[in-house]
Amino acid sequence: MKFLILYNPMSGRANFRRYIPQVKKIFEKSSNTVDFYESKAPKDLIRTAKDFSSSYDVFLAAGGDGTINEVVNGIMNSKDQPILGVLPSGTANDIAAILGINRSIKRSLNMFFNEEPVKLDVNQINDQYFIYTTASGMLSKISYDVSRRRIKKYGYLAYVIEAMQDISKDYRYPITICYNGKEEKYEVVMVLGLNSNRVGGVRLINFSNSKLNDGLFELRLFLRAKSFWRFRFLQSFIRGGKRIGDDVQIAASKFEIKTNPDVRWNADGEYSTNGSIVIQTHKEAIYVFASKRIKNKYFMHVPK
């Protein structure tokens, strides 16, 4: 098979260039071929993935969640869709962890060479595609507000420091949410959407029992109560994403959310858009490589 590795030289604290000689040696010992493309600017990988989609069997996205998000958007805007593989080299690497991809390049490439790919849901917020999460409100901006200099210096700790500062702020905004023929109104401090059990490098084992190819997306609405709302919010994350008190959990294939124009949304940890949005899930939209353990546990109807 023909592989194209698309990588971000600025991702996290890593520099993927130093691994290229190792990758070339591994490919030389296989029956596969590989080319490399280094991102030149933000969003460059979207265009590149779209332009080269008919020329390769597999795209390997080397970087963090933002890098993978760009490649996914390129694939989803292409007629021909290569298989997606992930080589984690960012800071949190949530998508790699969700798919069970090892940080060892040798082990990961061996899996890509030998495992059968599986179909994965892809989600969409307005006109942008994303893999696993979208959010607004508390904690939702830290993944892209933290400077690259601080990430290089402190790594994942930079996000922890920013999160502690963000929790001290007084979040409060209204939403009107339409789904499955219903319309409901709430005042929230955060809206967190997931189709997995991990976000921001944290495993949320009690968030839900969602699958990665069931055609559904789940939203947790953290409500703005009169008192102790910060305590309830933190308790939810401490308890692995467990729903606390009156907080609302919703699953659907499409949501329409109306809110204030200054409310910012992220997608896979990157800034996406402001204000009112539409979220929809495209069931089993792309092929990806995932570990056997993940395929057995988090995918429906996967051939043994």
133 shares its domain with 103: no
The answer to whether residue 304 is domain-embedded is: no
- Quote the crossing angle between the two packed helices 157-167 and 229-238, to the nearest 10°: 150
262 shares its domain with 178: yes
104 shares its domain with 161: no
Q: Give the CATH number, domain containing residue 101.
A: 3.40.50.10330
pLDDT of residue 147: 54
Quote the tokens at residue 71.
Answer: 């490649």
8 shares its domain with 111: yes
The answer to whether residue 182 is domain-embedded is: yes
Which pLDDT tens digits describe the chain residue by residue (304 residues)? 999 999 988 765 567 888 999 999 999 999 999 999 999 999 999 999 999 999 999 999 998 899 999 999 999 999 999 999 999 887 678 999 999 998 899 999 999 999 999 999 999 999 999 999 999 998 787 766 555 566 666 565 666 666 667 677 788 999 999 999 999 999 999 999 999 989 888 889 999 988 999 999 999 999 987 777 888 888 888 899 999 888 999 999 999 999 999 999 999 989 999 999 999 999 999 999 999 999 999 999 765 5
177 shares its domain with 266: yes
65 shares its domain with 185: no
Number of structural domains (the chain) is: 2
- Which range of residues forms the domain containing residue 186? 128-283
52 shares its domain with 184: no
132 shares its domain with 85: no
pLDDT of residue 165: 72
Per-residue H/E/C for the chain: CEEEEEECCCCCCCCHHHHHHHHHHHHHCCCCEEEEEECCCCCHHHHHHHHCCCCCCEEEEEECHHHHHHHHHHHHCCCCCCEEEEEECCCCCHHHHHCCCCCCHHHHHHHHHHCCCEEEEEEEECCEEECCEEEEECCCCHHHHCCHHHHHHHCCHHHHHHHHHHHCCCCCEEEEEEECCEEEEEEEEEEEEECCCEECCEECCCCCCCCCCCCCEEEEEEECCCCCHHHHHHHHHHCCCCCCCCCEEEEECEEEEEECCCCEEEECCEEEEECCEEEEEEEEEEEECCCHHHHHHHCCCCCC
84 shares its domain with 184: no
